[in-house]
Chains A and B, each alone.
Chain A
Amino acid sequence: MRSETFTTHQIIGNPVSTIDRLSNWNVDELVLLDISRDDQHDMRREDHFVRYDGSSTLDLLGYIARSCGMPLAFGGRIRTLEDIQQRISAGADKCVVNTQAYRRPDFIREASETFGAQCVVVSIDALRHSDGSTEVFVKGGKEATGLRPEDWAREVERLGAGEIFLNSIDRDGVGNGYDLSLVQDVTDATSVPVVACGGVGNYEDFSTAIFEASAAAVAAANIFHFRELSYPRAKQACIAAGVSMRPANVDSKWFPRDQPYDTVRENERIQARLANAKSDHVRSVYASDDVPEMTWCKRCVFPVISATPMSLDEDGVCMGCRMAEVYDNISDDEWKQREGVLFDILDQNRSTDGLRHDCIIPVSGGKDSYFQVHYVKNVLGFNPLLVTYYGNNYTDVGERNLKRMKDVFEVDHLIYYPSIGLLQKLNRLSLIAMGDMNWHAHVGIATLPIRTAVQQHIPTVIWGEHGFTSLCGQYSKDDYFEWNYRNRREHSARGYEWNFFVGIEGITPQDMMCYQYPSDKKIFETGLRGIYLGNHTHWDANNHIELVRTQYDFEVSEEPFDRTYRTMSNLDDMHENGVHDYLKYIKFGYGRCTDHASKDIRSGVLSRGQAINLVRQYDHVKPSDLVRWLDYVGMDERTFDQICDTFRDPRVWRKIDGEWVKSNLWDRAG
């Protein structure tokens, strides 16, 4: 979860893959706070590798603890000694108590006597008021207590707390550094260790809290999820600043990043799915569960149950709309300053000896690619190497656009063509395994540029906009979210690494080379950073298309797509708007038209009523490129439909009288 001032909460991913990543780095300690209001963790995704039985807090904790090799402090909705006992039994080493410590201070004493002081962490959420005074808040920052943090800290220590986890509400997620005087005041008031949290925006902020505010330990959340190898780099910065700590591990022996798959189990899973597909009554593994009401954003047309992590705020408006407002309200001056940040990163890493390019731009040949190269080469003045993963799904127009890039921009361009035989296998196998025939494309695009960067010692990779930020508001502007492996593994690869396919139908590791991500050690040594242009220059697809058409003769499609009204997107992959997107509709009940219409509502191009009509017209359409795809991989349509049906999300779809039905936005909007 990404959190800001305790009010904005954005889902940024699956806790299991996040914690796997932290284990890779041998993180010193993990504080995991469950901020859900009820005891429900919905991670039901048939199309992702990570799945687990159960959905309660304890189920989640038990699942996490199995792969968690670091000390784990777990908090959230702990009210009784039994709650603590259950969490310890499920794998927690310490429990973090907040509201209940305030409601019933003796609870701290009882917990400390029963489980030992080392097990009892009291978390204090402090707000600095505008007059400079500080106050403790409970109930997730919602309820004022009138207590001063240092007084409350003294009291919880007296009652037996072994540690204090001090969070600053007003600094939370803001990224402008810790509230140093708050940390110092609480540290001075107590003799138990105080862990400072809230406000880290730069790796340098950690050592500042240790040296200038005497923090016993420093914690952060957001920053660790925003950048590649964030934890090793944070420790590198602390050690450089003179903090005595053990360096992070980037080559863990016991917690390797790329783990083997249990091929027997995985094969059983696939066979079971195929058997299910062939049976007359396709059933979902979750079909017996309660199905919640469908909800949509009140402003755009995005559903809450979606392929992208999505959350609504208290007004029922989605984070995608909220973040669009945030980005729209950036002033021209601020954009200038943000452009300067990008220029400095590129400039510091430009080639000084002429033995390599200045940066890498992954390009598909689409409108965004044209804009990226235009901006980096012709606006900022750097010499990029273009890198393309050729997924063999180009439209004629898209292919012409791709191959003209070297000419119109006068740049070098590497195009990697994987073997067609392999692509056919991967298309078919990944449809069966995860309901996404384009696994190869998503992972190829997310791997090849990074491989090239490491091989050629080019430390900067420039991506376009961050798709999940613009679509579902996953991150905010001051996060300066950067490329990272977790994002690739979880979202591009759905938890299925390249080695998942090795051994199936004779596929060898060598066949899968272009999907093999470089080792953490090599990425660390390269100093690799993947920057998203969307954080540094105003990203408006409708403006960009005009620019690249007029300045660089970018061609758009003459024929409209089957599944969306936009003609300028995804020319590089006929299936991305077609079969791939149809699968999204089968899984979640919406498609690319919903994505495009939501974006166009946010940029003021469409009204919500117009958008709903478009969604109604396009989202369900079975696309004509399916004919090519079935012929390409050798599958018949009935088999395809059967496999698709096994991925239908039971929260969205029900089968009534042999027909799949779902509720629709227009049913209620009228």
Chain B
Amino acid sequence: MLAKPQIVVVDYGMGNLWSVLSALEFLGARPLISSNPADILKAEAILLPGVGSFRLAMKSLIEKNLGEAIKEAVQIKQRKILGICLGFQMLADFSLEDGMTPGLGLIPVPVEGFGDQELEGRKLPHIGFNQVILPNSSVLFDGFTGAEDFYFVHSYRLLLKALPGKGAICNYGVDFLAAYEYKNVFGVQFHPEKSQDVGLNVLANFLQFARDAGRKV
């Protein structure tokens, strides 16, 4: 039993942890940054951030034995995970960025690029605030209704498919999965740490959920 649910931010040597950490600390959390699989297995909640190449990120995750640890923590120990941006994509089955690379397989959809026809002249990467249609009665969007604007920076996206959980949808020429939650698996394509009030509300909702779950143990 954990007196204080431990939040671990996975450091696999890529991307910018700083903003995520800063946002978590801003919200009063005291996360542990770790690249140690043992810490991941002990964590109550896992945060998987990421910016950059899917292939390199997965490679690094596997080399550091973090991929297996995350899967065990989430699938067997039922720990909560939140993937952000590339971290969200890494929860998916596979990505077609830079070849075909398998992901962690926690969300059964593929990651693909935006097609030229779909974009209709829109530019990549998809950068900036964009409107997200939110699901009803979800954990991440508790307190929100309808739609909100979040900050995106990405060129690949999770495809929209029939899924068991709750999804939020954004449109950039084509609809794509902007956020998803099912049981203990959470992910957001946008950057909640850079989406100001609304983004911090999403992170606060996830932290609250992890805290509540921690108390129930």
Contacts and interface: CB of A to CB of B under 8 A. Distances in A.
Interface stretch (B73-81, B104-112, B193-201): B193-201
B165 interface: no
B51 interface: yes
B168 to A, nearest CB: 16
B153 A118 contact: yes
Interface in B141-180: 149, 151, 153-155
Contact of A90 (B18, B128, B196): B18
A192 interface: yes
A214 B169 CA distance: 26
Interface string B112-124: 0000000000011
Interface in B1-49: 16, 18-19, 22-23, 26
A162 B125 contact: yes
Given A28-B129, A193-B127, A254-B200, A70 B26 contact: no
B53 interface: yes
Contacts of A246: 129, 131, 149
A66 B23 CA distance: 9
A610 interface: no
B191 interface: yes
Contact of A191 (B123, B197, B199): B123
B56 to A, nearest CB: 10
Contacts of A216: 123
A69 interface: yes
Contacts of A89: 18
B196 A249 contact: yes
B22 A65 contact: yes
B196 A252 contact: yes
B191 A71 contact: yes
A254 B18 contact: no
B180 to A, nearest CB: 22
Interface residue tally of chain A, by bracket? Answer: 20 to 34
A255 interface: yes
Contacts of B124: 191-192
A70 B194 contact: yes
Contacts of B52: 115-116
B16 A254 contact: no
A191 B201 CA distance: 34
Contacts of B51: 116, 118-119
Interface residue tally of chain B, by bracket? Answer: 20 to 34
B197 A249 contact: yes
B22 A91 contact: yes
A70 B200 CA distance: 11
A16 to B, nearest CB: 15
B127 A118 contact: yes
Contacts of A70: 194, 196
Nearest to B200: A254
B170 to A, nearest CB: 13
Interface in A82-140: 88-91, 93, 115-119
Contact of B125 (A115, A117, A249): A117
A23 B194 CA distance: 11
Q: Output the residue of B129, B131, B196, B199 with the most chain A CB within 10 A.
A: B196
A29 B196 contact: no
Contacts of B199: 69
B19 A28 contact: no
B18 A69 contact: no
A245 B200 CA distance: 20
A116 B196 contact: no
A35 interface: no
Given A116-B51, A119-B51, A93 B125 contact: no
Contact of B197 (A88, A90, A255): A255
A26 interface: yes
A30 to B, nearest CB: 11
A163 interface: yes
A69 B200 CA distance: 9
A217 B199 CA distance: 21
A88 B123 contact: no
Contacts of A65: 18-19, 22
Contacts of A281: none
Contacts of A69: 23, 26, 194, 196-197, 199-200
Given A88-B18, A91-B22, A93-B19, A71 B194 contact: yes
Contacts of A252: 196-197
Interface string A458-480: 00000000000000000000000
A253 interface: yes
A20 to B, nearest CB: 13
B123 A26 contact: no
Interface string B44-88: 000000011100000000000000000000000000000000000
Interface in A15-59: 23, 26, 28-29
Interface string A190-214: 0111000000000000000000000
Contacts of B16: 88, 93
B141 to A, nearest CB: 15
Contact of A217 (B26, B128, B194): B128
Q: Output the residue of B149, B151, B191, B194 with the most chain A CB within 10 A.
A: B194
Contacts of A88: 16, 18
A162 B129 CA distance: 16
A220 B211 CA distance: 42
Nearest to A217: B128
Contact of B128 (A28, A66, A93): A28
A29 B124 CA distance: 17
A252 B199 CA distance: 12
Given A116-B51, A193-B123, A246-B129, A255 B18 contact: no
Given A71-B191, A115-B52, A246-B129, A26 B196 contact: yes
A635 to B, nearest CB: 40
A580 to B, nearest CB: 38
B22 to A, nearest CB: 6
A71 B128 CA distance: 9
B48 to A, nearest CB: 17
Contacts of B19: 65, 91, 93
A118 B125 contact: yes
Contacts of A29: 128, 151
Nearest to A191: B123
Contacts of A66: 22
Interface in A222-260: 245-246, 249, 252-255
Contacts of B125: 117-118, 162
B9 to A, nearest CB: 15
Contact of B151 (A71, A116, A192, A255): A71
B84 to A, nearest CB: 13
Interface string A145-156: 000000000000
A74 to B, nearest CB: 12
A163 to B, nearest CB: 7
A217 B53 CA distance: 26
B45 to A, nearest CB: 20
Contacts of B23: 69
Nearest to A28: B129
B95 to A, nearest CB: 15
Contacts of A118: 51, 125, 127, 153-155
Given A26-B197, A245-B129, 11 more contacts: A66-B22, A69-B200, A70-B194, A90-B18, A91-B19, A93-B194, A117-B155, A119-B51, A192-B123, A193-B123, A246-B149
6 contacts: A23-B196, A69-B26, A89-B18, A116-B52, A192-B124, A255-B196
Interface of A: 23, 26, 28-29, 65-66, 69-71, 88-91, 93, 115-119, 162-163, 191-193, 216-217, 245-246, 249, 252-255
Closest 5 pairs between A and B when the two form their complex, measured CB to CB? A246-B149, A26-B196, A69-B196, A254-B200, A118-B125
